[in-house]
Structure 1
Amino acid sequence: MLTATPIRPGAFSPRLCKRILVACLVFCAAGPTRCDNSFLVNAVPQNLNDFYQGLKDRAASCQHSLAGGFYSIDNGTNTTSYCTNDPHRPSIIYLSGDNGKLSNMDVDCDGVQGGSQDDGRCSLGRSPDYQDATAFQDIIQSYNVGISDLNTYVHPYVVFGNSGSRPGWRTFDPTDHGVRPLSIMAVVCPGNKMVYGVWGDTNGDDGDKPMVGEVSIALATACWGKNMTGDSGYDGMDVLYVAFTGEDAVPGKSGADWAAKDYDTFERSLQPLGDKLVQRMRAGAPGKKVTNLWVVAGGAIAGGLWLAL
């Protein structure tokens, strides 16, 4: 677990700077995220990490299945389920497979494109199932914050839930179990990396199989770097997606910087509410609060102070 000690101006010491530098180097070496990646990621809080490791270590990862029969990989098996901690009063819903497997991460290019972070990795033609609108575009527009929809390059959104009317098609509606549109989700990637996202889109029945495990290119880039594209994702089955139930998980119009021009700004705006939601999780024992360390190109933010490394 990475931690950071709040530092007063003028209180630097060679020993402390060395500790922070080593922590950042270990963090970057722990997974595929590149140290020159300018996208912010967060160290995984201890209680969420315990939950994550517990699911991976169990042969039957799903505590209580709400719906099963979904595919995480197109050429894989339909053994991924929407699971919960409590079938009667769920506080979280997450994706889990069998034999300690969780989910992969594909890239969704739906919604608005363009802006300063549009580098063409989600250009038309690179995503075979591109839609020009996300599922909750009408809610975004009702916020009247200057944007018409989510931007895949800016907003770290998760595709969660499955809809469709084809015979035999597996479906799941998270709202039936208390998850609200545009609510905060936590995504854990291998290498002690966590990103706060929002539930921003759903899977339809326009493909061959009912799929799960898809995110905006902004979120995928935060976890894996800029090798992620509209037609190239991450196939490891060790990504955890956690949705939180209840109205208090929804940042609403003023609880997030929806009009942000870049991923970093929007991600920071989700952190206060995201931290509260994660800290109320239990993983066999009450979660304990940890201090966040944000790793960015050329330095770290520790205790609210920018540290150039």
Structure 2
Amino acid sequence: MPTTTPTRAPTLRLGKWIHAALLLFHAATPTLCDSLFLLNAVPQNVNDFYQELRERAAPCPHSLAGGFYNIDNGTNTTSYCANDPHRPSIIYLSGVNGTLSNMDIDCDGVQGGSQDDGRCSLGRSPDYQDATAFQDIVQSYGVGISDLNTYIHPYVVFGNSGSKPGWKTFDPTDYGVKPLSVMAVVCPGNKMVYGIWGDTNGDDGDKPMVGEVSIALATACWGKNMTGDNGYDGMDLLYVAFTGIDAVPGKDGADWAAKDYDTFERSIQPLGNKLVQRITAGAGGRRVTSSWAVAGGVLAGGLWLAL
């Protein structure tokens, strides 16, 4: 008797396809013991600007201060740059020959809580301070926290202070950047994190350094291999600060008392989405358009989720 194809074969094929898709999703998604860190889609205008900087050989055309280091054994070719030297709306870090900045880990401020897994403990951070630069402002909000928590708040260390002879300094407030204002950090791999300006670089080291962030922000970009003594040395991260009081979420514009990174990040997303519209390509070189940015979604566990 001739054989016939079972009618359930399409169902079996569909089942195999679903199984394969689930395996792919599982491979791209953190395990249950990991936090599903929220990332933002990189808008096309931000991607164009990022690509422009990566292809620019010359220093930034509007340098506000230069002579800073990304790594101890590197060169002091990183500058604080502006889109306009007189009335800047953004200030960013940039080097030469397409370099931007690296990412070191700052453990300053409050530790502890459910997110503290020891990666930023005192013994792992060589320059730990028990307070951030704007602790008094955080306390003035009266929201139940005494300072920023490196495991929860995605803060950026921006600006340089110090009194050593010949020490390079830069105060972002001189150009309109306000403490605890929202910043944008573009990480390689189509990733963008909204953070806040939460600390400054001091003169406790041998050289004036830049490119430091909280463990929460570093984990969002690179995962839990980031620790207080293990950062990322690639010179391809973009840090952007925004000037003006409208970049400050204030007491009620952010969930300062959040118990985890994702909750805090979501609370500053609306303001961050508004601020990044200021970023435009063409100010410092040829306008470049790339296809890797995807707007209108978030990247979670390595997969784009449309909003």
Q: State the TM-score, normalized to the length of structure 1.
A: 0.84
Q: Give the equivalent residue in structure 1 for 2:88.
A: 90
Structure 1 residue 132 displacement after superposition:
0.0
Q: Which amino acid aligns with 1:291?
A: G
Q: Distance in 2 between matches of 1:293 and 1:198?
A: 19
Q: Distance in 1 between matches of 2:144 and 2:173?
A: 26
Q: Distance in 1 between matches of 2:176 and 2:55?
A: 28
Q: Give the equivalent residue in structure 2 for 1:258.
A: 256
Q: Give the equivalent residue in structure 1 for 2:306.
A: 302
- Identity %, equivalent residues: 79
Q: Give the equivalent residue in structure 2 for 1:169.
A: 167
Contact 1:61 / 1:101 at 8 angstroms: preserved in 2?
no
3-state SS in 1 of match to 2:138: helix
3-state SS in 2 of match to 1:121: coil
Structure 1 residue 301 displacement after superposition:
4.7
Aligned length: 277
Q: Distance in 2 between matches of 1:240 and 1:63?
A: 16
1:193-272 map, 5 Å: 193-272=191-270
Contact 2:41 / 2:295 at 8 angstroms: preserved in 1?
no
Larger radius of gyration: 2
Q: Distance in 1 between matches of 2:224 and 2:120?
A: 11
Q: Distance in 2 between matches of 1:292 and 1:229?
A: 28
Deviation per CA, 1:206-253: give whole Å up to 9, x if none. 111000000000000000000000000000000000000000000000
Structure 1 residue 281 displacement after superposition:
2.2
Deviation per CA, 1:194-213: give whole Å up to 9, x if none. 00000000000011100000
3-state SS in 1 of match to 2:151: coil
Unaligned regions of 5+ residues in structure 1, if any? 1-13, 29-33, 304-309
Q: Aligned match of 1:159 in 157, 160, 172?
A: 157
Q: Distance in 1 between matches of 2:80 and 2:115?
A: 32
Q: Give the equivalent residue in structure 1 for 2:5.
A: none
Q: Aligned match of 1:69 in 63, 67, 70?
A: 67
Q: Distance in 2 between matches of 1:292 and 1:198?
A: 21
Q: Distance in 2 between matches of 1:206 and 1:293?
A: 38
Q: Give the equivalent residue in structure 1 for 2:41.
A: 43
Q: Which amino acid aligns with 2:295?
A: V
Structure 1 residue 61 displacement after superposition:
4.6
Contact 1:279 / 1:289 at 8 angstroms: preserved in 2?
no
Q: Aligned match of 1:113 in 111, 114, 135?
A: 111
Contact 2:297 / 2:304 at 8 angstroms: preserved in 1?
no
* Pair 1:293 & 2:298 matched: yes
Contact 2:38 / 2:298 at 8 angstroms: preserved in 1?
no
* Pair 1:191 & 2:189 matched: yes
Deviation per CA, 1:17-49: give whole Å up to 9, x if none. x9xx79x97xx6xxxxx7555211112111001
Contact 1:157 / 1:216 at 8 angstroms: preserved in 2?
yes
Q: Which amino acid aligns with 1:252?
A: G
Q: Distance in 2 between matches of 1:61 and 1:295?
A: 35
Q: Aligned match of 2:55 in 47, 54, 57?
A: 57
3-state SS in 1 of match to 2:230: coil
3-state SS in 2 of match to 1:125: helix
The Cα RMSD (Å) is 2.4
Unaligned regions of 5+ residues in structure 2, if any? 1-13
Contact 2:42 / 2:294 at 8 angstroms: preserved in 1?
no
Structure 1 residue 290 displacement after superposition:
3.1
Q: Distance in 1 between matches of 2:299 and 2:66?
A: 35
Contact 1:107 / 1:233 at 8 angstroms: preserved in 2?
yes
Contact 1:55 / 1:61 at 8 angstroms: preserved in 2?
no
Structure 1 residue 293 displacement after superposition:
2.2
Q: Which amino acid aligns with 1:45?
A: P
Q: Distance in 1 between matches of 2:157 and 2:188?
A: 19
